[in-house]
């Protein structure tokens, strides 16, 4: 059964402008996991990768039941690219992972797409019953 659906679109230029600011390192550490930062920064133009992760985090938050939104933050999840496979959302916050179990949420479906100007992401949360 679907528990929640979230979608977000992000303009790559908006993220690029934030990353060009003097406080960009603090911004990155507040919003993105170390794995996400390392992944994005290996590209010559990391803005698209950061924008995609921003969109996924926004879509994830929108998909959450309200009770879980209250305990979720930017660093509760990360978008992971392992072995060049389809990227997936991983919960990295123990409190949120435990809350998912209590709510019976067993699967996180995600899709992200980007082109020069925009990134779009969708997240669907599913329970077994």
Which domains, ranges and CATH numbers included, belong to the chain? 2-127 (3.90.470.20)
pLDDT tens, residue by residue, 65-103: 999 999 999 999 999 987 777 899 999 999 999 999 999
Cα 85 from chain centroid (whole Å): 16
Q: C-alpha 91: how far from its chain's center?
A: 10
Point out which residues pair with 7 in neighbouring strands: 122
Tell me: the pLDDT tens digits for 10-67? 999 999 999 999 999 999 999 999 999 999 999 998 999 999 999 999 999 999 999 9
Does residue 127 register a pLDDT over 90? yes
The model's pTM is 0.94
Encoding tokens for residue 43? 């590209």
**How confident is the model at residue 125, as a pLDDT?**
98
How much is the pLDDT for 82?
78
């Amino acid at each position: 059964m679907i528990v929640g659906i979230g979608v977000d679109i992000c303009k790559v230029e908006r993220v690029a402008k934030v990353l060009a600011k003097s406080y960009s390192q603090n911004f990155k550490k507040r919003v993105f996991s170390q794995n996400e930062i390392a992944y994005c920064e290996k590209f010559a133009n990391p803005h698209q990768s950061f924008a995609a992760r921003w969109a996924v985090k926004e879509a994830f938050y929108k998909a959450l039941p309200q009770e879980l939104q209250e305990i979720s933050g930017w660093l509760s999840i990360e978008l992971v690219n392992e072995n060049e496979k389809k990227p997936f959302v991983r919960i990295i916050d123990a409190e949120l992972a435990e809350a998912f179990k209590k709510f019976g949420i067993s699967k996180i479906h995600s899709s992200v797409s980007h082109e020069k100007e925009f990134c779009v992401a969708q997240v669907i949360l599913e329970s077994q019953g």
